[in-house]
Structure 1
Amino acid sequence: MMKRKISGALKKWRQEEQGRTALLIDGARRVGKSYIVEEFAKEEYKSYIVIDFNRVNKEVKELFINYLNDLDTLFLYLSNYYNVKLYERETLIILDEVQLFPKARAAIKYLVGDGRYDYIETGSLMSIKTNVQDIVIPSEERHLNMYPMDFEEFLWALENETLMDYIRKCFSEKKPMGQVLHRKAMDYFRQYLIVGGMPQAVEEYIRTRDFDRVDRIKRDILTLYRADIIKHAKGYEMKTEQIFDDIPAQLQKHDRKFKVSSLKKEARLRDYEDALFWLDDAMIVNICYKSSAPTIGLRLNMDRITLKCYMADTGLLISHAFDENGIVSEELYKKILFDKLEVNLGMIVENIVAQMLVAGGHKLYFYYNSSREDTSSRMEIDFLIAKNKISNRHNISPIEVKSSKNYSLKSLQKFKAKFAAQLHTRYILHPSDLKIEEDIIYLPLYMTSLL
């Protein structure tokens, strides 16, 4: 069994809520939701039922319509249909892919109110209109997002239980890892870059250590995403597919900003808003918005027109981007593994940083000013994050991502000159070891998740 951090959140929910809320786990397809919930059910409950709305027949669906006023009969039917004995406060009922049958989601209000059993819903596309129309979204739902495996979970899967503890220690003490352990951590990190965090891909890598086979798994997931777009992005499936297919090309540009004019001449972002929202809600992408000022309310200064669109999983991005022959060559993977890839590495590294920040609970924002008149104002900062405890000043940390050892600090210096009162800590994320120079903290890329 692959160890996932979300298991701890599931246990905490059970202990604290005692059936007062249902848990809704939202995540991209193939991110491991169903697997982790069923493993949790086996460990923590006397019995459980999985109602998979992708497969379930009409009769079971109708139970949630016909018997909400007679829950005794509903539970009797479910117990007999699934041949599972139900125990009060000791049974978990899992509503899998619940977005495919919104009426079951609406029924949560009554099921939780009854109080006999626990309920976990899993799914994706939870906010799309077709999945919420004609239902009242239950206030008894507690939401939890599930992301691809993070770097620490990847290390656990590779049976390394100790390296991340040392990385954490060095981060908290602001000390370098030292040449040997830094090199070891970067070797693991490059493997994580290539494989990504989709559990099936990680499992295949552990089993075979064969990048070609891992690539086939990732391609299957990309094919599944395309099929989902055609099936579920009703009315704007072509635009959604256009954006999806264009993500690597947009990220390869120097500034990485998403320009819809490259999809269609004179296109406006508002023409593609529904398509972007669909991909974001499906958790296939991570959207990073421009913030016009680095103040406490990054969201208040958000510019919805200027954005970057990252893939939610960097392993998938690599398979998506290098698609010339339908399979990424082993040669490309070797170049990434041995740090010999010159082109495109910037987009891959920036994508993994975005992925790690999102998994760490951050909303994504960047700063950009293209002023032609004032060169001191012309700059771009890859990411902005707010510190945990907000004070009157010095709340925002600018982050610059560097994929190689040669880089300039011009934007970071201009940023400090212009916004000194708002700045907390300036960070450079780079492939080298931790160091502090002046007031800039240089962190190895694998420490991103600790910010």
Structure 2
Amino acid sequence: MMILRRKIYDQLLKWKKETQGEKAILIEGARRIGKSTIVQEFAKKEYDSYILIDFSKKDQEVENYFYQYLNDLTTFFMMLQIHFNVQLVTRKSVIIFDEVQMFPQARAAIKFLVADGRFDYIETGSLISIKENVKNIVIPSEERHISMYPLDFEEFCWAMHENMLIDYIKDCFHKQEALDRSLHNKAMLLFKEYMLVGGMPMPVIKFIENDQNFFICDQEKRDILSLYRQDIMKINTQYRDKVLLIFDQIPGFLSSHEKRIVFDQLKKGQRALQYQETFFWLADSMIANECFSCNDPQVGLSLNEDRTYIKCYMGDTGLLVSHAFDENALMEEGVYKNILAGKLSINQGMLYENVIAQMLVANGHKLYFYTHYDEVTHHNDIEIDFLLSGKSRVSYSIFPIEVKSGKNYTTKSLQKFCDKYDKRIGAAYIIHPRNFMIKDGVICLPPYMTFLL
């Protein structure tokens, strides 16, 4: 099967070199994101041998080793080697705990295994932080956490063998200049393909291996959505129905003008406080990306987040496309064809904003938005899609981003925001389908450059 080049491989190399076995690494990510594939590829290339224990298979014999032999690690390792028929080599082998959330006792054992020092340890999992998966265990401090996301636009271009184009895009971004017109058009087409296919590995592979067939890729995405629904149905019954309700409504929320969740519309009298566990589960599963309102961006975004005003984006925009349209609608409305041709305006704004959110999260940004209500006109006179904060600890700065899916738009909202918080603005961005330009002090980026922010 086709193996995709992923940036997380370099993070694993860095961990191996820096920690020298003194810390395990835990890769968190949504189901079907490619965690198992990348760690096996890493283990094959970077170690003499490896053992992969897949806890989703519920191998009772292996699980019993964790109860019987942790006080005698030599016997523990001997039993694993016999069971898997793999010879481990001291300081040259790695043991992988796949889907470790399914057997928390293995995660608790990391403390003793790392202290022993004979081998390296990689854990993978989803829903790592929810109560059911950490109950009755001590979280090991000997863990380094990294998050794994769907393929970003650069990784998608690598998969499509467009390495030279992506290098050219990066060069233009750093020089702050527009792409050649024909190459801009090519990059925009690639970006729309990325938006429609998404970054989940199997749909990307199916798309490439089947001559860029969106419908074969769509079947794979629907299988993933079905898997997510099955995961939701396993939740503790106290908040399962609320998670399912929010999950099913995500396309509806994002189709509205404000795109935020109005809890009273879900059920009369409902408030955000009643959905805290719901959003924690969706965020921890990495199925969705939360975006909170920031009511005072002058100080610090996280210090002023308002959790009663929430936007909820799908973690992968390709999955959002399949979630928003049933199979018949995709074909009858020619959704894929029309979006590629730039003719489907009704849902394009929803997809553009979601994919920008996805790309920002993959770059390590927490998501915030800003609105200002005008008491005179009784409507929002400022709406900023995303706010980023500068990384400098010396001088705090904010970076407002407006996302425009069409080529014709106004910038009144962004201008008002920049006037209001003038001294705090690091740079202001508009992400639009046009080529790179700087206009009235605002940096206007084509969406394919977002991964560089």
Which of 380, 392, 395 is the aligned partner of 2:395?
392
Distance 1:258 1:201 in 2: 29
Distance 1:175 1:327 in 2: 37
How far off is 1:391 after superposition? 3.8
Distance 1:43 1:101 in 2: 27
How far off is 1:373 after superposition? 3.0
Distance 1:263 1:324 in 2: 26
Amino acid in structure 2 at the alignment position of 1:235: Q
How far off is 1:326 after superposition? 7.7
Partner of 1:424: 426
Instruction: Please tell me whether the aligned partners of residues 233 and 278 of structure 1 are also in contact (alpha carbons under 8 angstroms).
Output: no
Instruction: Please tell me whether the aligned partners of residues 373 and 379 of structure 2 are also in contact (alpha carbons under 8 angstroms).
Output: no
Name the SS for the 2:32 alignment partner.
coil
How far off is 1:154 after superposition? 0.5
Instruction: Please tell me whether the aligned partners of residues 26 and 124 of structure 2 are also in contact (alpha carbons under 8 angstroms).
Output: yes
Instruction: Please tell me whether the aligned partners of residues 287 and 308 of structure 1 are also in contact (alpha carbons under 8 angstroms).
Output: yes
Partner of 1:352: 355
Distance 1:162 1:433 in 2: 18
Which of 202, 216, 238 is the aligned partner of 2:219?
216
How far off is 1:295 after superposition? 2.7
Identical aligned pairs, as a percentage?
Answer: 53
CA RMSD of aligned residues (A): 1.5
Distance 1:392 1:33 in 2: 37
Instruction: Please tell me whether the aligned partners of residues 48 and 84 of structure 1 are also in contact (alpha carbons under 8 angstroms).
Output: yes
Matched ranges for 1:188-203 at <5 A: 188-203=190-205
- Name the CA shift for 1:197/1:4 in 2 (closer, same or farther; >3 Å): same
How far off is 1:232 after superposition? 3.2
Amino acid in structure 2 at the alignment position of 1:115: G
Which of 235, 239, 243 is the aligned partner of 1:240?
243
Name the SS for the 2:250 alignment partner.
helix
Amino acid in structure 1 at the alignment position of 2:310: L
Name the SS for the 1:54 alignment partner.
helix
Distance 2:104 2:35 in 1: 18
Amino acid in structure 2 at the alignment position of 1:335: N
Partner of 1:132: 134
Distance 2:72 2:248 in 1: 49
Output the TM-score relative to the length of structure 2. Answer: 0.97
Distance 1:391 1:402 in 2: 32
Distance 1:109 1:329 in 2: 56
Instruction: Answer yes or no: is 1:340 the counterpart of 2:304.
Output: no
Amino acid in structure 2 at the alignment position of 1:178: D
Partner of 2:122: 120
Give the aligned length.
450
Instruction: Please tell me whether the aligned partners of residues 430 and 443 of structure 1 are also in contact (alpha carbons under 8 angstroms).
Output: yes
Deviations 1:222-251 (A, max 9, x none): 000000000135421111100000000000
How far off is 1:12 after superposition? 1.0
Partner of 2:268: 265
Instruction: Please tell me whether the aligned partners of residues 248 and 321 of structure 1 are also in contact (alpha carbons under 8 angstroms).
Output: yes
Instruction: Answer yes or no: is 1:86 the counterpart of 2:96.
Output: no
Deviations 1:175-206 (A, max 9, x none): 01121110010010010011000000000000
Output the TM-score relative to the length of structure 1. Answer: 0.97
Amino acid in structure 2 at the alignment position of 1:334: K
Deviations 1:249-303 (A, max 9, x none): 0000001011122221111111121111101100000000001122352100110
How far off is 1:324 after superposition? 6.7
Instruction: Answer yes or no: is 1:368 the counterpart of 2:343.
Output: no
Instruction: Please tell me whether the aligned partners of residues 233 and 275 of structure 1 are also in contact (alpha carbons under 8 angstroms).
Output: no
Amino acid in structure 1 at the alignment position of 2:26: L
Name the SS for the 2:306 alignment partner.
strand
- Name the CA shift for 1:356/1:329 in 2 (closer, same or farther; >3 Å): farther
Which of 436, 444, 451 is the aligned partner of 2:438?
436
Q: List structure 1 segments (4+ residues) > 6 angstroms apart after TM superposition.
A: 374-377
Which range is displaced more, 112-121 or 164-173? 164-173
Amino acid in structure 2 at the alignment position of 1:361: G
Which range is displaced more, 330-339 or 135-144? 330-339
Instruction: Answer yes or no: is 1:252 the counterpart of 2:262.
Output: no
Amino acid in structure 2 at the alignment position of 1:274: E
Distance 1:64 1:376 in 2: 60
Distance 1:337 1:74 in 2: 56
Partner of 2:104: 102
Instruction: Please tell me whether the aligned partners of residues 215 and 327 of structure 1 are also in contact (alpha carbons under 8 angstroms).
Output: no
Which of 398, 411, 414 is the aligned partner of 1:412?
414
Amino acid in structure 1 at the alignment position of 2:13: K
Distance 2:415 2:378 in 1: 13
Partner of 1:308: 311
Instruction: Answer yes or no: is 1:383 the counterpart of 2:381.
Output: no
Could you tell me which runs of 5 or more consecutive residues in structure 1 were left unpaired when the two chains were aligned.
none
